[in-house]
């Protein structure tokens, strides 16, 4: 069974979200606020194997941070409150200790921020899903911790170091197509970051695919609508076309991490290009 769980909503600059696409084109379907920001969601995914009850959480949103960071994120991203842990409980009845695996598509702050949380009582940051094994691409971790002027602002390095300190929780992988539990595999795509990975779920003859930042919203189905944040946009273009053709042929259920309206849907093609047939509830 799979289920979308949300860590809340935030906003990013519309120009940065759509790269080379001019504003008069993108703003029709993505109206911007007075600071030119567009609303985005933090859609994470829970996957549960009914037989073994192994539970995988894919990405962890922005998470609960200390006052200073919270204030900064409120100002820059209009991020009000992290609600992932309470949504996991309200929707699935699960507590943080019940999560067996966390998969991070990559380690940007809006995908791995909730890996850890700020504990008010102890005044320090701690690992959130403390029984889980966190599956991270080795190259992504190296890129996250490297000092790079272009990418420093995208990572919460102190939070990432806390995960590194919890050696029993961290599993570094450096290959594509690794199966985590039966039917659930990571697919390395690159593009957004050099080691970005997606998650493919196959069960009972059906396939679901979590796109991460390869195709963050339905608007990004258009091949050339690629985020300005992407470090390797031509790799994004190549992987998008490859995966979308396969997704259409095999009728995959797609999960969009940042779309505030359509978290999930099936791909259709008409004369204007790719379309999404929305699905509200996923089982």
Q: Which residues bind Zn ion (CB under 5 A)?
A: 110, 213
Cβ at position 80, least distance to Zn ion in Å? 17
Nearer to Zn ion, 110 or 140 (CB): 110
Q: Which residue has the tokens 């990975």?
A: 197
Nearer to Zn ion, 213 or 235 (CB): 213
For residues 113 and 65, the answer to whether their CB atoms sit within 8 Å is yes
Residue 43, token pair as written in the block: 């859609």
Residue 249, token pair as written in the block: 């042929």
What's the Rg (C-alpha) of the chain? Answer: 18
Nearer to Zn ion, 110 or 230 (CB): 110
* Dist. CA 136–CA 188, nearest whole Å: 11
Cβ at position 147, least distance to Zn ion in Å? 22
Cβ at position 243, least distance to Zn ion in Å? 17
- Counting every residue, how long is the chain? 283
Cβ at position 145, least distance to Zn ion in Å? 19
- Rounded alpha-carbon distances, angstroms, from residue 269 to 74, 81, 273, 276: 38, 37, 6, 9
Cβ at position 12, least distance to Zn ion in Å? 8
Nearer to Zn ion, 213 or 259 (CB): 213
* Dist. CA 78–CA 72, nearest whole Å: 9
Among positive and negative, which fits the CA dihedral 32, 72, 263, 92? negative
For residues 125 and 116, the answer to whether their CB atoms sit within 8 Å is yes
Cβ at position 211, least distance to Zn ion in Å? 11
In what helix (H) or strand (E) does residue 201 lie, and over which residues does it extend? strand 197-203
Q: 163: which residues sit within 8 A by CB, 6+ positions away?
A: 112, 115, 116, 127, 134, 136, 169, 170
Nearer to Zn ion, 110 or 259 (CB): 110
Nearer to Zn ion, 62 or 94 (CB): 62
């Amino acid at each position: 069974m799979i289920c979308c769980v949300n860590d809340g909503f935030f906003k990013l600059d519309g120009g940065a979200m759509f790269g080379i696409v001019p504003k008069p084109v993108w703003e029709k379907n993505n109206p911007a606020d007075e600071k030119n920001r567009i609303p985005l969601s933090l859609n994470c995914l829970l996957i549960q194997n009914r037989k073994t009850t192994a539970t995988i959480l894919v990405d962890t949103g922005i998470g609960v941070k200390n006052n200073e960071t919270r204030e900064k994120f409120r100002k820059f991203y209009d991020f009000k409150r992290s609600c992932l842990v309470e949504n996991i409980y309200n929707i699935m009845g699960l507590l943080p200790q019940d999560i067996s695996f966390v998969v991070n598509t990559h380690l940007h702050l809006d995908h791995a921020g909730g890996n850890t949380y700020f504990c008010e009582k102890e005044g320090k940051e701690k690992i959130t899903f403390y029984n889980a094994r966190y599956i991270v691409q080795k190259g992504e971790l190296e890129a996250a911790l490297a000092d790079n002027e272009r990418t420093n602002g995208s990572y919460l390095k102190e939070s990432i170091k806390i995960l590194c300190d919890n050696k029993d929780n961290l599993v570094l992988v450096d290959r594509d197509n690794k199966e985590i539990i039966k039917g659930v595999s990571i697919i390395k795509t690159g593009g957004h970051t050099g080691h970005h990975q997606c998650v493919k779920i196959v069960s009972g003859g059906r396939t679901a695919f979590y796109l991460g930042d390869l195709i963050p919203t339905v608007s990004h189905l258009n091949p050339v609508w690629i985020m300005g944040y992407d470090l390797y946009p031509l790799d994004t273009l190549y992987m998008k076309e490859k995966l979308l053709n396969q997704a259409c042929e095999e009728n995959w259920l797609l999960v969009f991490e940042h779309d505030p309206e359509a978290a999930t849907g099936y791909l259709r093609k008409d004369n204007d290009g790719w379309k999404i047939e929305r699905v509200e509830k996923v089982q």
